[in-house]
Amino acid sequence: MSKNKYINLIATGCSIAFIVAGVFLIVHLGKLTAHNNAITAEYQADNTPFVEETNTESSDSVESSTENTLRQTELVTVKEKDFDKLLTSYTNSSEDISSQVHEIVETEYQNNLLAAQRDIVSAIKETNLKIEDLGAVFLPEHPALEANLSNVDQIDVPLLLQKDPEWRELKYGSNTTEQLGENGCAIVSLAMVHASNSGKDVVPQDILDWSKETYYVHDGGTSWTIFYDFAQYFGYTMFNFGSDFHSAMEAVQEGKIIVASVEPGYFTETGHILVIRGYEDGKVYVNDPNDDPSKMFSLQGIDENIFLEDGLNYWTFY
């Protein structure tokens, strides 16, 4: 065998050996890939239930939250229905259902009338009754004694409302309906002052019996001159603070009732007269003769800035 043939034979053998080795390597790599795929699939299979279980727990949580919301809604609805039933049977405006209102508030709202306000207003809207006419039904006779205000130092001034059905149609003034319900905030405020200072049962008619319509000014409401004459007639000392809010608040903290005149704004659109019975930590506590269930100004502290902006004049009677 020649030398060249021998070299060719060796080269051919090496080529065949490389080919066989390559085939073997390819087969081996294929097996490794298949094995890895199997491991991956098994891992995914093992972890799939965990993912589903997590999703299930999340769904249960949402469902539980929804159920809680529904329960709360049902609870509010049940409470509201108490007022619905009461108002449905309230066909006579002279009927006294205030004791039943108090019982519901005490039982269902921890004796906090403000907490019941939303449900009361909602129930009233379901009837044909006017919310401004229902203050005497829902608001307390002595707001200073309410549980949510028990920690505030106030003068106990009985709350009288100008739209109380008992006297709202009394003739007074020459504007709008020409009735006390629309024009009588000053008359009713003086009735509250006289009731608190005298300790007697006083109603707006008692003030009208004296004042008649002498002090009413068309398009101007009740003249401020009524305050001096009221003090003279009923035996009180009156002090006029003018627009000095802070001096008036010092007086109320000394136990003196304040009558305030405010311009159109927070309380009414036409100007207003109301009683101030307390002042503490920048909050003013009032008996608003024009109050109703949608406002409940007499059951909460009014920010002093309201009076600093809207207050016109302050008087005290003692």
Q: Identify the architecture of domain 141-317 in CATH.
A: Alpha-Beta Complex (3.90)
HSE at residue 86, side-chain half, CA atoms within 13 A, is 25
Return d(Cα 170, Cα 182) in angstroms, integer: 10
Residue 283 — left, alpha, or beta (φ > 0 → left; ψ -120 to 50 → alpha)?
A: beta
pTM score, two decimals? 0.74
pLDDT digits (tens, 9 = 90+) for 213-254: 999 999 999 999 999 999 999 999 999 999 999 999 999 999
Tens digits of per-residue pLDDT, 48-84? 333 333 343 444 544 444 454 444 444 444 455 678 8
Query: pLDDT tens digit string along 174-212?
Result: 999 999 999 999 999 999 999 999 999 999 999 999 999
Pairing of strands 272-280, 283-287: antiparallel
Q: Where are the domains of the chain?
A: 1-129, 141-317
Residue 34 class from Cβ within 10 Å (0-12 exposed, 13-18 middle, 19+ buried)? exposed
Do 245 and 314 touch, CB atoms closer than 8 A? yes
